[in-house]
Chain A
């Protein structure tokens, strides 16, 4: 079946602009995670959704970052007033339930470059 997909695969924007990154999880997966991976680093937890609600957003770096999952499926990560330091690969993962022992299935990521 289809895996996790993320669009766009690459996004180049200018400092100060607004961007939206989309994640389509595996059908039926109730849990969805966003991570940020900077060059030479491991994925950094940003936010976790269970269904439509953000169960834990403690990893969002500041109030410029926001994520939604209005129907409990597709999720959008929104970044306002982008800064050069936001440049990274943004990863999305989904898992079948809210058990943290479940396998997370990762998408290929969106590479964001802020000029």
Chain B
């Protein structure tokens, strides 16, 4: 079975500071990993995904994530936070089956 753990249900950063949202996964087979963002009153939107190939993945809005198999991690980063980044972020994992497992989410607050 697969699962995802997101450490920190709430993260606050100052505008312009580094954003780091943590995601660890559990999977007995090679995983596919995703980060989704949910802005207030909107549906989930894909930020980026890792399937195969390069382990450093770049997504929209300046976000990137690195797949580290040895650490079973897929942390999301952005060098400089913007006020518009305030949202709920979800990490998700799937394998060769079309079952997707989401973490419990991290709410990002950006302080001006």
Task: Give the B-binding residues of A (Cβ under 8 A).
Answer: 3-4, 31, 33, 35, 40-45, 48, 50, 55-56, 58-59, 91, 93, 98, 100-101, 103-109
Contacts and interface: CB of A to CB of B under 8 A. Distances in A.
A102 to B, nearest CB: 9
Q: What is the size category of the interface that chain B forms with chain A?
A: 20 to 34
A5 B100 CA distance: 20
A103 B49 contact: yes
Interface string B78-96: 0000000000001010111
A77 B90 CA distance: 24
Report the 5 A-B pairs with minimum CB-CB distance, sorted nearest first.
A42-B102, A106-B43, A106-B44, A101-B51, A100-B98
6 contacts: A41-B104, A42-B6, A42-B103, A56-B99, A105-B43, A109-B43
- For the complex, would chain B's binding face be called helix, strand, loop or mixed by DSSP majority? loop
A40 B45 CA distance: 18
Interface in B37-79: 41-46, 49, 51
A31 B100 CA distance: 13
A48 B98 contact: yes
A100 B43 contact: no
Contacts of B99: 45, 48, 56, 58-59
Given A4-B43, A106-B45, A107-B43, A100 B94 contact: yes
A94 to B, nearest CB: 11
A61 B87 CA distance: 29
Contacts of B97: 56, 100
